[in-house]
Amino acid sequence: MGTRVRFEPQGIEIEIKHAVSLLDAARRAGVSVRTRCGGKAGCLMCKVNVDGEERVLTPPSSPEQRKLGVVSTQGLRLACQVRVSGQEGLITVTVPEDPLKALVRRQLAERHNDDSLW
């Protein structure tokens, strides 16, 4: 049995049996994580929130520590820098909503509310 990785809010769970980056795990699960730098810790667009068993995660890389100021394996991490070991365990990864999608969703909700006044 490998590492179970649960992605929220999508509610998708996959099992990882060999070490991969969290970004690759998300791609395998069909979960979209924004990137621009190709996984070089340059764009900071792949920020996710990680929670669960620390022993299945690599500690923060030097670029993560420098750019995010993180010192813990959990909490805010760069998906391109975290590696999941594939050992037995469970982690939950919360992927923030794409800002453009969030804006469109808010505007549609506001429009719906305005229409209901008439």
Chain positions contacting ligand FES, by CB under 6 A: 35-37, 39, 41-46, 78, 80
In the complex, what is the shortest distance from the CB of residue 38 to ligand FES, in angstroms, rounded to a whole number?
Answer: 7
Closer CB to ligand FES, 39 or 96, in the complex? 39
Give whichever of 37 and 108 is closer to ligand FES, judged by the CB atom: 37
Distance of closest approach, residue 113 Cβ to ligand FES, in angstroms: 36
Nearest C-alpha neighbor of 5 from the set 35, 32, 25, 33: 25
Residue reference for tokens 């792949």: 46
Nearest to 7 by CA among 27, 38, 78, 111: 27
Nearest to ligand FES of 37, 102 (CB atom) = 37
Give the pairing type, strands 83-84 and 47-52: unpaired
